[in-house]
Amino acid sequence: MASLPGTTSRPWTDLGVTRWSEIALGKVAIGVIALFVGVLIAGLTLPALLWLVCLFCALGIFGYALNDWCDRSVDAVAGKRNSFTGISSVQAAAFFALIASLILLLALFAPAVAARGLIVLQLALAFAYSHAPLRLKARGAWGLIGVILAQYLVPSWIILRSVPGAVGSDWMYLNAFALVHGLVLESGHQRWDREHDRAAGVATFGATWPVSAVTALYRWCVPVLGLLIALCPAYIAWRMVQSQGLSGAALAELPLAGLTVLHAGRAFADWRRDPTLDPFYGESSRALWRLYSYLPNCFIPLYLAVLIAVSAERGWVVLAATLVWLRCLNLGSPSYSTRLPHYGFRWHAVQIASVLLLRR
């Protein structure tokens, strides 16, 4: 998701060509939320959870790295940093062979044939988006469609096909979230890179369509994404009540739902006072940062991990892994990041007490 402009980077979290810090924020975080919900309400086992997390990390690394590799010449023309600078063709080939082999190996353990087909489809879309002869990235709106399919919608379909208890409403919510999330991040990114892409002669959606149209798409989708984030905990609580009744875990989800709606209200109030605020590519506010960055990337995943730790067998493994993963994220302004953990821990203490007192 988003981080505030002017953020200092942590080079040790980037891991070179893997672009881990970009993959983990937003893409992996949203998948983790969906998978944690799968553990809590849909019968997803911890080994299956581990398999899916490893798969999505590998797919994300492959897609980002392939795009960087194919953009070496245009990045040089535009004066942009490329993660493959100084890496030979032989080294790059070995890297891609390793990642692709890992993905195909993980695909063999997919719980359904449909999931295996979707994994292959995502690899094909990543190749078609970045590499000649198709190189959808340089074909205007087709590039936007291709990247949203490859990095947002198809991963959601893999999750839904792999979680045994997914229902129709899960398909509707997760696909809506993935679509709007993709439109926000990709239209915003291409609008931000418009002049660089034009200088390099890359006919992306952002470079070929009128800037007013790209900006309008971005501006319309950002509040819709905020609304979907605000509804996420309430939807999770509703699904937990559906599957478990009024269990302690379901009741413990209600404070998170109220908290998220509260932050959404504050964020939209900030927008009303200053419509120029931008949580992704411009000047933001604390309320917008909480809604678009802290809640989906840190607080909601950790909240769900705590629920798993106190309500599922060996759930502490999930909580420990989540804490390690969150340690590797750079969520934005250091002044916000140092204050908010204390704010969050108070809620987690209430949550743990609620689950232990109310669980059946």
Per-residue pLDDT tens listing for the chain (360 residues): 444 333 333 433 344 565 665 665 556 667 777 877 788 777 778 888 888 888 888 888 898 889 888 888 887 877 777 788 888 889 889 989 999 999 999 999 887 788 899 999 999 999 999 988 888 988 999 999 999 999 899 988 998 888 887 888 889 999 999 999 999 989 988 888 888 888 778 888 988 999 899 999 999 999 999 999 988 888 888 887 777 766 666 676 777 788 788 888 999 999 888 888 888 887 888 888 888 888 888 778 888 887 788 777 777 888 888 877 776 665 554 333 434 444 455 555 555 565 555 554
5 within some domain: no
Give the tokens for residue 88.
């030979």
Identify whether 196 is part of a domain: yes
Q: How many residues belong to the chain?
A: 360
Read off the pTM. Answer: 0.83
Structure tokens at 116: 């295996």
What pLDDT, on a 0 to 100 scale, did the predictor assign at position 246? 65
Residue 234 located in a structural domain: yes
Whether residue 348 lies inside any domain: the answer is yes
C-alpha span between 359 and 353 (Å, rounded): 10
Domain tally, the chain? 1
Burial 221-241 (b: 16+ CB within 10 A, else e): bbebbbebbbbbbbbbbebbb
The answer to whether position 3 is within a domain reads no
Domain contains 271: yes
Assess if residue 1 is contained within a domain.
Answer: no
Structure-block tokens of residue 303: 């909240």
Range of the domain at 333: 11-358
Residue 85 lies in a domain: yes
pLDDT in tens, 83-133: 888 888 898 899 899 999 999 999 998 877 888 999 999 999 999 999 888
